[in-house]
Structure 1
Amino acid sequence: MSLNHSIKQTILTLLKYCEKNNWAGFDPFDGLNSQIFETLPLLKNRISRLIFIQAMKRSPVNLRHIFLVPKAQNPKGLALFCSTLIKLHNLNLMENDRQIINLLNRLIEMRSRDTDYHCWGYNFDWQNRQFFLPKYSPNIICTTFAGNALLDAYKKFNDDKYLDMAVSSGNFILNGLNIYRNKDELCFSYTPFDTGQVHNANLLGAAFLSRLHSITHEEKYLESAKSAVRFSARRQREDGSWVYGEDKKQQWVDNFHTGYNLIALKRFSEYTKTTEYNKNIQEGFRFYKENLFTKDGLPKYFNNQLYPIDIHAIAYSIITLAEFKSLDDNNLDLANHIFDWTMANMWDKRGYFYYQKKKFFKIRIPYMRWSQAWMLYALSILQENYEV
């Protein structure tokens, strides 16, 4: 196939925007970085933190300038950018690799402190319904994305320091989290401070550990990965779906977390050379395709709800459809259709993607991690499918 010029040009334009902004920006969940909110005694109140985060996240107007929320680099966003730049260099869309190394160094600098492991967390305080998490506190999601970026760098540059740090990340997952165990299965917690059972976090951890095993041949990574996959595979519902988590307040089914689960399960199967979970993947993808897109091919946010049309869901739909192109001949056509719709509806001529389209309005805030990093990564994967 020849290179798709439209995708290529969008990649180059978006890359220029991210470079110009030094890979830094706002985030949907960064409200508690407000210098004003930090001075208020309400900060120590769980309800007020939740309300403030959600108000900032849902507002169609960017209030961060008013509340003095600074633009910042996000470790997960940097990890995505690192993996993306490696892809773009391999596609000859970047002239040299110096920028990749500089960004990797910055990612390494942003690791969580007060721990012996190489692990990462978000650059903002985070409050959910269950617990409060201070900024840079490590979690399994940021750590697996950073760990995979390090393994991408190890493959690219054949430098053992990247592998050593990725191994440290694997050891954090094994030793730094709370692990639920039940006979031959386990589930990794999201952070060292909770005991939740979230399937995409668990499967992403398992996929990363299986990748580590494929390189190091350390059995501890393989055995834990197998046990984690058993946990989430056995809790896949009869219709092929996964709820977000096992808590009664986590019983929703959404687009991008389902995509996370499917690709993580596929990666695990590839790294361990097993066909044991082929049925789980096939049934999961069937549900995904039939229930998380409209008849017109737009990614729905939830299985029973279209809006908001979210750029993260768009990006991960493109990634998932490209990843599973062998399961359905029209997957790449659908991915390209989504790209075309996104360019017509979510692209700003200044070179970035909007956050969400609601039923009656759009949130046009240019979030760096949630929107730009994910779309740049998704388009790099889509572009790979147009190599000669």
Structure 2
Amino acid sequence: MTTGRTSSEPSDAGRLSAARPVEGDFLTGLLEDTLRYARERDYTGWDYFDGMSSRLLRAAPVDNKWLNIAVQEGIKRAPVNLRPLFLVEKRQNFKGTALFSMANDTAYDLTGDELYRAEARALADWLIENAAEGYSGFCGGHTHEMQLLDERRGAYVPNAIPTSYAVKALLRAAESTGEERYADVARTATNFVYDELEYRELEGGARIKYQPEYTGEFYTLNCGAIAARMLVDLYDHFGDEELLERSTKLLDYLATKQQPIGGWTYRDPPSASHLSMDNHHNGFIIEGFLRYREVTGSDRHEETIERALEFYRNTLFDPDGAPNWDEDSRFPKDIHAATQGIIVFSMAGDREFARRIVDWV
């Protein structure tokens, strides 16, 4: 799948722009190398949870939950890449495309190379063209099925996580291009959150569903934080007070669910998931609170943030920057946790520890 770059857009042959003020910077070079790798593959690849996309599994004469889990988890956990053997196809991921769009914008800001601006715009357009259909606003989901212990999550079913990252990418595209159409599309995602994810107020704040099909008997805590961050991002762009009010209520409710040691379980009640206070989902929650503070300047959740950061750094990371899996287990080491840690500690002003994580990676 391509991003729609045309022959009139910059090619790799002209990618070394004269405007490149940080030529020797290690991190900029690493970013450029990563984007070159992704660009050469049209931003497609394998996914952490893509085992259900195996053509061999789909051809099996039975459709069984435990067989699905065995294949999915076996592929995910194997020390070598089994996906080619299981005929798992590479696909373009909705959330991943949003991240690549923003990464290309960052590369343009750092280097001045027009190639990155063109790539960022093409990827933002892809998000609009490939948004989920039949819902009340802009939204997106994973491009593969997932088999969980308590559910089978369908491909292309939208949820709060990829939607929020796509909104962030479209807002970034609006800022970088000056084209407000990107922001206008992003704003319609509020309809998805309010209607399809059934935003509702309750004692202590508000909560939403992770995806439309959920019945609401449990609450996936990090999705509330990510949705709150999305509303704050939209508020930062549009200045609509309702966006801020609803974001505040989502975060207020999450503050009531913080555990005494400073972290959050994956779901409420905790028994609704085999995950406990795992690393990267706690990072998502802290990022939501930090973004709210950054935009509003409010100290409303300061105590929550202080306790969360102490738990996050001292329990979910080793002193050398290596991420731990959760509050009880050091392994497996998860690259998602590491990258989220870089974001969180950078936002919190602890750049020394953020760089320590970069060096570990």
TM-score (norm 1): 0.81
Which segments of 5 or more consecutive residues in structure 1 lack a partner in the other structure? 326-330, 343-388
Structure 2: how far apart are the matches of 1:130 and 1:177? 19
Cα deviation 1:120-174 (Å, max 9, x = unaligned) = 0001012222322211110000100001111111122221211111111121111
Spell out the pairing of 1:13-32 with structure 2 (5 A cutoff): 13-32=33-52
Spell out the pairing of 1:155-194 with structure 2 (5 A cutoff): 155-179=175-199, 181-194=201-214
| CA pair 34-89 structure 1, distance change in 2 beyond 3 A | same
1:57 counterpart residue number: 76
Displacement of 1:3 in angstroms is: 7.9
Matched-pair contact (CA < 8 Å) for 1:178–1:191:
no
Which segments of 5 or more consecutive residues in structure 2 lack a partner in the other structure? 1-21
Q: 1:40 corresponds to which letter in structure 2?
A: A
Structure 2: how far apart are the matches of 1:3 and 1:239? 44
Matched-pair contact (CA < 8 Å) for 2:23–2:29:
no
2:11 counterpart residue number: none
1:316 counterpart residue number: 340
Structure 2: how far apart are the matches of 1:12 and 1:270? 28
Q: Which moved more, 1:242-251 or 1:14-23?
A: 242-251
Matched-pair contact (CA < 8 Å) for 2:131–2:139:
yes
Displacement of 1:8 in angstroms is: 2.2
The answer as to 2:145 corresponding to 1:122 is: no
Q: 2:247 corresponds to which letter in structure 1?
A: A
Matched-pair contact (CA < 8 Å) for 2:198–2:209:
yes
Structure 2: how far apart are the matches of 1:4 and 1:50? 46
Cα deviation 1:274-324 (Å, max 9, x = unaligned) = 211011111110111111122333221212211111111111122222111
What count of residue pairs does the alignment treat as equivalent?
336
The answer as to 2:101 corresponding to 1:101 is: no
| CA pair 267-295 structure 1, distance change in 2 beyond 3 A | closer
Name the SS of the counterpart of 1:62 in structure 2: coil
Matched-pair contact (CA < 8 Å) for 1:140–1:205:
yes
Matched-pair contact (CA < 8 Å) for 2:279–2:324:
yes
Q: 2:75 corresponds to which letter in structure 1?
A: M
Q: 2:109 corresponds to which letter in structure 1?
A: N
| CA pair 163-311 structure 1, distance change in 2 beyond 3 A | same
2:287 counterpart residue number: 263
Matched-pair contact (CA < 8 Å) for 1:111–1:136:
no
Structure 2: how far apart are the matches of 1:335 and 1:93? 25
Displacement of 1:38 in angstroms is: 1.6
1:92 counterpart residue number: 111
1:82 counterpart residue number: 101
The answer as to 2:255 corresponding to 1:233 is: yes
2:60 counterpart residue number: 40
Q: 2:272 corresponds to which letter in structure 1?
A: K
Displacement of 1:260 in angstroms is: 1.0
**What is the RMSD of the two structures over their aligned residues, measured on CA atoms?**
2.0
| CA pair 218-295 structure 1, distance change in 2 beyond 3 A | closer
Matched-pair contact (CA < 8 Å) for 1:31–1:53:
yes
Q: Percent identity among equivalent residues? A: 28
2:165 counterpart residue number: 145
Q: 2:356 corresponds to which letter in structure 1?
A: H
1:208 counterpart residue number: 230
Matched-pair contact (CA < 8 Å) for 2:93–2:142:
yes
| CA pair 275-4 structure 1, distance change in 2 beyond 3 A | farther
Structure 1: how far apart are the matches of 2:79 and 2:112? 34
Structure 1: how far apart are the matches of 2:317 and 2:265? 17
Name the SS of the counterpart of 2:268 in structure 1: coil
Name the SS of the counterpart of 1:42 in structure 2: coil
The answer as to 2:357 corresponding to 1:341 is: no
Matched-pair contact (CA < 8 Å) for 2:32–2:107:
no
Name the SS of the counterpart of 2:107 in structure 1: helix
1:110 counterpart residue number: 130
| CA pair 215-53 structure 1, distance change in 2 beyond 3 A | same
Structure 2: how far apart are the matches of 1:294 and 1:93? 37
1:133 counterpart residue number: 153
Structure 2: how far apart are the matches of 1:180 and 1:130? 24
The answer as to 2:262 corresponding to 1:243 is: no
Name the SS of the counterpart of 1:186 in structure 2: strand
TM-score (norm 2): 0.87
Structure 1: how far apart are the matches of 2:49 and 2:177? 34
